[in-house]
Amino acid sequence: MQMKLIKTILTLQPLFPLPIYFSVLTGYPPLWLSLIIAVIPFGINYWYSHHIFKRTLFDIPILIFVLGTLIGFIVSPYKNVGSGALASTIASILVYYGITNNSGASKKYWLWTAGIMCLITLLLSVWFLSQRDHRVLSFNQWAFNLFAGLPNTSGLELNLHTLGALLVVVIPPLFVIIFLKNSIGLRIIILILCLFFTGVLFLSDSGTGWLAFIVSMTFILVCWRRWLIWVLIPTEGLLTGAMVIFYNKMEWLRTTFSKSSLMDRIELWKNTLILLKGKTTVTGLGPGAWLSIYNNHYSNTVAIVHNSYLQLYCDAGILGFIAMVLAAIIFVRLSINILKLPQRNSVNWIGTGLIGSIIAGAVFAIFDTNHSITYVTDNGYIYLALPLLWIGASLISVISSKLSVY
């Protein structure tokens, strides 16, 4: 009985850090209690197998990133916001090691994991469509009307780009399953999910999400059939040309790919680089401190920097940047080794889908933040590190270990 309980706790290890997010967002349960709950499986794992976590290829970048975040927190003048950012960052890292600690789990475990992630994405998609207060345009009004009967939630809302960031990383690994020789029933379910999620991404009007989706799907389709590059690239070029020609004639195009929005982002980036001169070049501004420092300096009301790479530098300074570069080098090396494998079995294809997922996230990160969220309230704001990036990195680590790719 005791052994069964231990195995259950270790199996559910990725879920134990979740209370930390609730503590940061709502104040309940107390943060100290959430942190204790989150580390319980690691203590059990040490008692059971004499190691806290399994070694992974991303350990050194993670260590450097944590050091950079701690230094940023120490120098930050906004400790209240920074403590929530630091706690949720720790939670994200614990999710990463919770997943990699289960790298040897059975196929059923990973099917359940994928199913839970799809269910969460499905619920968030329906929630988004039920809110009815985002960009309602000529091509998506019918979808918001379709879900008009559902209650419209108050308080925290799901931004169209937040949903877009989630969808572009969930769709690629699902899409490759359609190529596999699984049961017809499973492939039909996956196809329906892919079509639904792709439809929601289109209806969300997240131009950044559209771009990231096209890049990742192009990568996956070319991996599937190399000759498709001679079809996809010219087609995408013609589509881009058509959008340029009809840009001033179609209101929804001007809204989705707004020139003024792009120029505002560029202005944000330039101003942020100015803020990062001097001492902050090394330490950054501190976790979650960008909003207050930027708005105080420029007398503005901007909530996010709209670039994950700049946001990461602001949070963790030059050490965070070094960690990101090291992680990117490791990811590229792993990706090349996975794609070079001669045998295209199911694990290979899932790996290809995960690579496409991270590519999509990397493209999305140029124009928006997808590793964190800033929730502005009447009393201030809450800065929360999201586990999306860490989940992708952990799954790449698991796939690499299964394929013996290092």
Domain count of the chain? 1
Residue 314 lies in a domain: yes
Residue 29 lies in a domain: no
User: Residues 46-69: pLDDT tens digits?
Assistant: 888 888 889 999 999 999 999 999
Residue 282 lies in a domain: yes
pTM of the model: 0.93
Q: Give pLDDT, residue 134.
A: 63
Rounded Cα distance between 260 and 16, Å, is 43
Beta bridge partners of 383: 374
**pLDDT range class, residue 1, cuts 50, 70, 90:** low
* Average pLDDT estimate for 130-146: 76
- Other beta carbons less than 10 A from residue 211's beta carbon: 18
Residue 192 lies in a domain: yes
Query: Does residue 176 surpass a pLDDT of 70?
Result: yes
Q: What is the mean pLDDT of the chain?
A: 90
178-181, Cβ contacts within 8 angstroms, sequence gap of 24 or more:
179/224, 179/349, 180/346, 180/349, 181/346
User: Residues 304-334: pLDDT tens digits?
Assistant: 999 999 999 999 999 999 999 999 999 999 9
Residue 287 lies in a domain: yes
First to last CA, the chain: 37
Q: Give pLDDT, residue 299.
A: 74
Residue 36 lies in a domain: no
Residue pair 100/397 in contact (Cβ under 8 Å)? The answer is: yes
Question: Position of tokens 């030059």?
Answer: 318
Residue 34 lies in a domain: no
Residue 272 lies in a domain: yes
Chain length of the chain: 406
The CA-based angle 374-377-379, given to 5 degrees, is: 125
Query: Does residue 77 surpass a pLDDT of 80?
Result: yes
Beta bridge partners of 244: none
Using DSSP's 3-state secondary structure scheme, residue 376 falls into strand
Q: Give pLDDT, residue 50.
A: 82
Residue pair 103/401 in contact (Cβ under 8 Å)? The answer is: yes
Parent domain of 255: 53-402
Query: Does residue 171 surpass a pLDDT of 90?
Result: yes
User: Residues 233-271: pLDDT tens digits?
Assistant: 999 999 999 999 988 888 888 888 889 989 999 999 999
Residue pair 156/124 in contact (Cβ under 8 Å)? The answer is: no
* Average pLDDT estimate for 387-402: 92
Residue pair 95/62 in contact (Cβ under 8 Å)? The answer is: no
